[in-house]
Every structure is written in C-alpha cells, then in structure tokens.
Amino acid sequence: MLTAKKIAAVAAAAMCMISFAGCESIEYRSFDTSSSSQAEISSSSPESSETDSSSSSTDGPISDQPLQDPNSDPLITKEDDPDYLSKTAFIGEALCSGLSVYGDNIQASQVYAENNAHVDDIAQTSWDVNGEQLSLPDALYKTDRKYVYIWIGPNDLNNYDPKTFAMRYKDLINEIFHASPMAYVGVISIAPVSEQYDKTLSFGTVYDFNAALAEMIDGIGNNRVYFFNITSVLGDSNGHLKSEYDSGDGLHLTADAYKAVEKHLVNMQIHPYLSDLETDEELPTEGEVPAE
C-alpha cells in the first residue's frame, strides 16, 4: 500500500497539471514534507512600468485572523512549531526588507525583497542561489521554503485600483504555487501609516486595498492561502500607525515594529494539515478515507 509521503508526491503533480491549465484560480490541495535550506541569496530587479488608476475611501476593521482560522479545522495539527521561522520566506519591497535587519530570528537568506519591487514584477526578479541565477518562484523552490509570506504595499497604491491590485496579487500567488505547490502562502496586509502621513496616503486607501486582498483570498477558498492583518498589531484604535512604531516619517517602521510583526506571525503561524505530515504508517483503504 502507498504511504502518505508517496501519495503526496502523486497528488501534488496531478494538482499542478489540473490547476495551471488555465491559471485563473488556485486549486491546490497537496501535501508537504519539506524542510528549509539556508542558501545565500542576493537579487536584482527589472523596472516596473504598469500604471492604473487608484481610488479609495472607507473605514472599519479588518479581521485580525487568517480568513480560514487554522485552529478551527479538526484535520489540522494545532501544535506550534518552535522552528517555524526557519522554514519561511518573505517576499516584498522596502518595508519587507526590514524583517531580516530588525527581526530576531529571520535571516537575510530568507528575505526576497527589492526596494522598488511591485506586485507585477517581483516574480521576474533575478536571485542568486548558491551561484545560480533564478527567478523568484524557482528560487523559492530551490531553497525549499515551506511557508511563503508576501508583504507588498505602498509602492503599488498609486499604480492600481484595489481590485486590480488584488488580482495581480492573485497572479503572483499562482506563480509561487506553480513552482512550489506544496508551500503555504501568507499575505501580510499593507501596514498602517501615521495620522500625519494620512495626507499623503490615507487610512481609507490602505483599508480599501487591504479589504480587496482579504476578499480575494476569501474567494480563493484554499487551505494553503491565508490573510494576516498587521494593523491589529501596529495600528492604534483609529487604524493609524502607533507612534512607537513610527520611524519618523509616518510610513517606515521602527525595529520594535518589525519585532512585533515577527512575533505576531509566529503566534498566528500556519498549521499544516495532518495529511501533510510525514509518516511511515499505511493509509486506510479507499473505503475508509472520508470524502472531502
């Protein structure tokens, strides 16, 4: 009889062929037994030229929890992984790069960040992985990252309207899954800005874009994609960046802010499905496997 690990490989391959025939939606439900690799990485990025219209204005809270709470499903293991962060990768632009500079347990080799990166071009950036130049999705596959967080924000808020931004985000998620179908993806919300910075980038704009991301992820309905709202960590009661997390310009973050984000992601870590765990035990016969 097949072990869970063997079935995982077959299932992942089948999912890849089916899901990316049209590449319009993410349909993966495959399994993971991966571990992280500490390859040294560096990057170079092409210029971005896409420009669309931007619009905003609304208010209200965005849920602090991933849209599908990992702890609510009986098929998910609920034990936190003490080595969780060593298995992650972080994708983004300038704000994201601070995670390895100020975070306590995130290495530079885990952060794929370009200061001027945009959601539509970051997948085409070139990364050096042990001397080999690879696109971002291939670099993630090569370094075998189990959890991939995307944190892209302010650079794009003048390039797109919220819905278009969310669709470009979805395209990026598809590219990541195409290369690494066994990964889990966490979308980190756009960080809040200070009340003083609101004249340049309003709270309503940040909210609208985050709401569009949350709605897009909810629409995917995939157990491998989650939304993480860091306004609950970095924001005050009005949704603006807390003064202690403001580096001075109302947009960029302090070292303590990055430590708070890191702690939040560990506390809210994505829990892999029990079926993803490596085991040498034989699976039940076909008649004993519950239908999904």
pLDDT digits (tens, 9 = 90+) for 228-269: 999 999 999 888 999 999 999 988 999 999 999 999 999 999
For the chain, the structural domain boundaries read 4-43+60-286
Which residue type, as a one-letter code, is found at position 262?
A: E
Mean pLDDT computed over 134-158: 89
Which residue type, as a one-letter code, is found at position 202?
A: S
Instruction: Give the CA distances from residue 272 to residues 69, 182, 193, 275, in Å, rounded to whole numbers and listed in that order.
Output: 12, 10, 33, 8
pLDDT at 94: 87
Three-state SS annotation for 231-267: HHHHECCCCCECHHHECCCCCCECHHHHHHHHHHHHH
Check pLDDT > 80 for residue 37: no
pLDDT digits (tens, 9 = 90+) for 102-136: 989 999 999 999 888 889 889 988 898 988 999 99
Cα–Cα nearest to 206, from 265, 153, 252 = 153
Q: Which of 4-13, 162-171, 207-216, 251-260 has the lowest mean pLDDT?
A: 4-13
Contacts of 24 by beta carbon, 8 Å cutoff, 6+ apart: none
| Arithmetic mean of pLDDT over the chain | 74
Query: Which residues does residue 154 pair with via DSSP β-bridges, in sequence order?
Result: none
3-state secondary structure of 199: helix
Helices vs strands, H then E, count in the chain: 7, 8
Contact 31, 276 (CB under 8 A): yes
Q: Residue 191: in which H helix or E strand, if any?
A: none
Rounded CA-CA distance 83/61 in Å is 31
Contacts of 74 by beta carbon, 8 Å cutoff, 6+ apart: none
Cα–Cα nearest to 55, from 274, 212, 214, 171 = 212
pLDDT at 78: 58
Check pLDDT > 70 for residue 140: yes
Q: Quote the pTM value.
A: 0.71
pLDDT at 284: 39
Q: What count of other Cβ atoms lies within 10 Å of the Cβ of residue 171?
A: 14
Q: What count of other Cβ atoms lies within 10 Å of the Cβ of residue 84?
A: 16
pLDDT digits (tens, 9 = 90+) for 40-63: 444 444 444 444 444 443 344 444
The structure tokens listed for 78 are 């609920």
Three-state SS annotation for 94-119: HHHHHHHHHCCCCCHHHEEECCCCCC
Rounded CA-CA distance 34/66 in Å is 22
Rounded CA-CA distance 112/77 in Å is 29
Mean pLDDT computed over 4-14: 39
Q: What is the CATH number of domain 4-43+60-286?
A: 3.40.50.1110
pLDDT at 255: 96
pLDDT at 19: 37
Rounded CA-CA distance 103/100 in Å is 5
Instruction: Give the CA distances from residue 274 to residues 4, 30, 33, 71, 194, in Å, rounded to whole numbers and listed in that order.
Output: 10, 12, 11, 12, 41
Structure letter (DSSP) for residue 289: S
Rounded CA-CA distance 199/153 in Å is 17
pLDDT at 155: 77
Mean pLDDT computed over 160-166: 94
Mean pLDDT computed over 180-185: 92
pLDDT at 273: 64
